[in-house]
Structure 1
Amino acid sequence: MSKLSRRPFLTFAAGLLAAPRLARASTWPERTIRMVVPVAPGGSQDIVARLSARGLTELLGQPVVVENQPGGGSNIGYAAVARAAPDGYTLLAGADTLSITGSLTPRLSFDPLGFAAIHRTVRVPQILVVRADHPARNFAEWLASGRAQPSAVGTPGHGTLAHLLVEQLARAANTTWTHVPYRGGSVALTDLMAGQLQGVIINIGAVTDHVRAGRLRGLLVSPEARTAALPDVPTLRELGLAEFSAVGWHGLVAPPGTNPAIIARVNAASREVAMRPDVAERLASLGVEPTDEAPEVLQAAIADDAARYAEIIRRFGLSAA
């Protein structure tokens, strides 16, 4: 067979090999989709995931079922999705911890930068909260009380953005805090309410309702400007701590190798859900900012953040344990 005659044959053969994948993408979804949330129920990551799942169920025409798999700084859920078939029927409600865990946790069974990005659903500031009856009325008073008696500060877990912020703030303030990691932010908040912690650093969406109701008091938030959801809480910049960047994200990713056509379809649906007036209003009320972004934006953010957080982890000698 000549080179000229062989080329059409090879093209035809390649088309046959690709056809099943393209066909699956064109008919997807044909059954229930599983959305793994790698934290416990009740926190902002879980809330955002459930809002997304409800809207995606409507737009994709198949049930999107939320499955919480907390633990291991989200790595249990991450590993489960990394092992899943890249067929579009398993999605991950991921977060900024994807950019942290590779530098913080050795010998992972998966590549945290290898997931197929779909949509950065929201940007998520961090907030430090205390109980409303805590004697400290502001961050300076809270630091002073912590120097007199070391504070126990809870976070949603090792390897979270809150964990990095705890360590950075403690060093900057020249004080010692006991970092208490939990399997999700809602569990940390339960212990804070019970008086077993002096403070919690957490995604703002998990506590806005508590702060508004007077059960908790916010002492600082992480973005450069105050959030409209809690306008009375000062920013890191206002407190002279502008060098600490701690605005994370919640969003959707898929197992490595997922068909780009499926990624594009979920991205379009997820963006539509996030921009719906009722959903956008609910997200804004939590203090998180919905986004209308392509998959490439999230893919770049994951890689860029990984480089930045790796430097913080190296500088402070942090580890997951």
Structure 2
Amino acid sequence: MTQNKLPRRALPGLLAALAAPLLPPARAPRAQPAETAAFPDRPLRLIVPVAPGGSQDLVARLLARGMGEALGRAVQVENLPGAGSNIGYEAAARAKPDGYTLLAGSDSLSINAALFPRLGYDPLRAFEPILPGVAVPQILVVRAEAPQRDLAGFAEAARGGALAVGTPGNGSLSHLVGELMQQAAEIRWTHVPYRGGALAINDLLAGHLEGVWINIGAVTDHVRGGRLRGLAVSAPRRAAALPEVPTLEEAGLRNLAATGWHGLVAPAGLPPAIAARLHAAGQAALRRPDVAERLAALGVEVLDEPPAALERRILADAERWAAVVRRAGIRPD
């Protein structure tokens, strides 16, 4: 009787087939929690830690409108100003990390970490970066008829100690950029802090100040209209809003480039899927032609960067401004 034999080369395949039922089934992809999959199913809240009307508030409102359309849910703006933005920051830090509370963050997160030794929140750890948003160059301006025609002339005049330079506030980015310039150029002027940039510009135009450090959007129209003259911008390259104004480096002061930012963060612990959706909605808002037009008018520049870039910026800025604050002996009001 003929005996059928299985070829040796077939044995491994047969053994694998026999063992297959004994192996655990392949793991199915983990389903997202219901609240994550359904996000958002109600309106969102965007805390703005400054008063209405400034560039940070305007950028936040443009993002809120654009993101609301991208997400299909309203993004409601709530201004909570005061205490150097710390009232709004702390309220956001204490919110539930579910994506329904966002914060219009700025460079003041890093600055506050250096200025305020005791806060009810940790500026560097309490938030999840969502959207870098826009870069905000700072600019040094003088009256159009001022005798200082360039930064070198302004620095030379400051060596006599007779110049008064205003900023939007003690501990503001404009203040710190001015301190950075003074430390690098080994000059001193009298710092005059105001509660907001508009008051500083009014006093400059009235002749009560020799110069003002301020964000570029606050004075673009004045410079274009011939009432003020820009001496230098703090950005690493010339600003698109005022391309005729040189950078600090072009004016002879190296390694001083510094810009602010207006973007979005959320309470730490946000689910990654929700963070990704919020970032995508923010990017969609920035790409809208009407939003881009308004941002250009403010003199800011869109940052096409991932959230990780914002986290690096916040930490690096905190280290840099802590050194400036320490050397200048700056204290909060």
TM-score grouping bracket, smaller chain normalisation: 0.7 to 0.9
**Residue 77 of structure 2: SS of its match in structure 1?**
strand
User: How far apart are residue 117 of structure 1 and its match?
Assistant: 0.5
Of 311-320 and 40-49, more deviation after overlay is shown by 311-320
Cα pair 1:125 1:248 within 8 Å, conserved: yes
User: How far apart are residue 231 of structure 1 and its match?
Assistant: 1.3
User: How far apart are residue 76 of structure 1 and its match?
Assistant: 2.3
Q: Does 1:53 align with 2:64?
A: yes
Q: 2:168 aligns with which of 152, 156, 160?
A: 156
Q: 1:232 aligns with which of 231, 244, 255?
A: 244
2-structure distance, mates of 1:43, 1:151: 27
Q: Which has a greater percent of helix? A: 1
Of 178-187 and 249-258, more deviation after overlay is shown by 178-187
Q: How does 1:87-236 map to 2 (within 5 A)?
A: 87-114=98-125, 115-147=127-159, 150-236=162-248
2-structure distance, mates of 1:24, 1:36: 22
Please give the TM-score of this superposition, normalised by the length of structure 1.
Answer: 0.84
Name the amino acid aligned to 1:207: V
Q: 2:278 aligns with which of 246, 266, 282?
A: 266
User: How far apart are residue 88 of structure 1 and its match?
Assistant: 2.1
Alpha carbons of structure 1 residues 57 and 210: separation in structure 2 relative to 1, 3 Å: farther
User: How far apart are residue 80 of structure 1 and its match?
Assistant: 1.9
Q: 1:43 aligns with which of 38, 54, 70?
A: 54
1-structure distance, mates of 2:195, 2:74: 27
1-structure distance, mates of 2:87, 2:193: 15
Cα pair 2:40 2:71 within 8 Å, conserved: yes
- Note the residue ranges of structure 2 that are not aligned, 5 or more in a row: 1-29
Alpha carbons of structure 1 residues 314 and 254: separation in structure 2 relative to 1, 3 Å: same
Alpha carbons of structure 1 residues 255 and 227: separation in structure 2 relative to 1, 3 Å: same
User: How far apart are residue 124 of structure 1 and its match?
Assistant: 1.8
* Superposition RMSD in Å: 2.5
Name the amino acid aligned to 2:232: L
Alpha carbons of structure 1 residues 100 and 277: separation in structure 2 relative to 1, 3 Å: same
Which residue does the alignment assign to 1:12? Answer: none
2-structure distance, mates of 1:300, 1:175: 31
User: How far apart are residue 208 of structure 1 and its match?
Assistant: 1.8
- Note the residue ranges of structure 1 that are not aligned, 5 or more in a row: 1-14
Cα pair 2:249 2:257 within 8 Å, conserved: no
Alpha carbons of structure 1 residues 196 and 35: separation in structure 2 relative to 1, 3 Å: farther
Alpha carbons of structure 1 residues 77 and 214: separation in structure 2 relative to 1, 3 Å: farther
How many pairs are equivalent? Answer: 303
Of 187-196 and 277-286, more deviation after overlay is shown by 187-196
Bigger radius of gyration, 1 or 2? 2
Which residue does the alignment assign to 1:85? Answer: 96
**Residue 234 of structure 1: SS of its match in structure 2?**
coil
Cα pair 2:236 2:258 within 8 Å, conserved: no
Which residue does the alignment assign to 2:34? Answer: 23
Cα pair 2:295 2:301 within 8 Å, conserved: yes
Alpha carbons of structure 1 residues 110 and 283: separation in structure 2 relative to 1, 3 Å: same
Alpha carbons of structure 1 residues 308 and 188: separation in structure 2 relative to 1, 3 Å: same
2-structure distance, mates of 1:193, 1:39: 25
Name the amino acid aligned to 1:211: V
User: How far apart are residue 146 of structure 1 and its match?
Assistant: 4.2
User: How far apart are residue 312 of structure 1 and its match?
Assistant: 3.1
Q: 1:69 aligns with which of 80, 87, 91?
A: 80
Cα pair 1:25 1:261 within 8 Å, conserved: yes
User: How far apart are residue 145 of structure 1 and its match?
Assistant: 4.5
**Residue 73 of structure 1: SS of its match in structure 2?**
coil
1-structure distance, mates of 2:49, 2:332: 16
Give the % identical residues.
59
Which residue does the alignment assign to 1:278? Answer: 290
Q: Does 1:242 align with 2:254?
A: yes
Alpha carbons of structure 1 residues 168 and 293: separation in structure 2 relative to 1, 3 Å: closer
**Residue 120 of structure 1: SS of its match in structure 2?**
strand
1-structure distance, mates of 2:86, 2:164: 24
User: How far apart are residue 294 of structure 1 and its match?
Assistant: 2.1
**Residue 85 of structure 2: SS of its match in structure 1?**
helix
| CA offsets 1:238-260 (integer angstroms, 9 cap, x no match) | 12111213122110001222332
Name the amino acid aligned to 1:309: W
Cα pair 1:42 1:186 within 8 Å, conserved: no
Name the amino acid aligned to 2:101: T
**Residue 201 of structure 1: SS of its match in structure 2?**
strand
User: How far apart are residue 74 of structure 1 and its match?
Assistant: 2.1
1-structure distance, mates of 2:61, 2:253: 34
**Residue 172 of structure 1: SS of its match in structure 2?**
helix
Alpha carbons of structure 1 residues 256 and 143: separation in structure 2 relative to 1, 3 Å: same
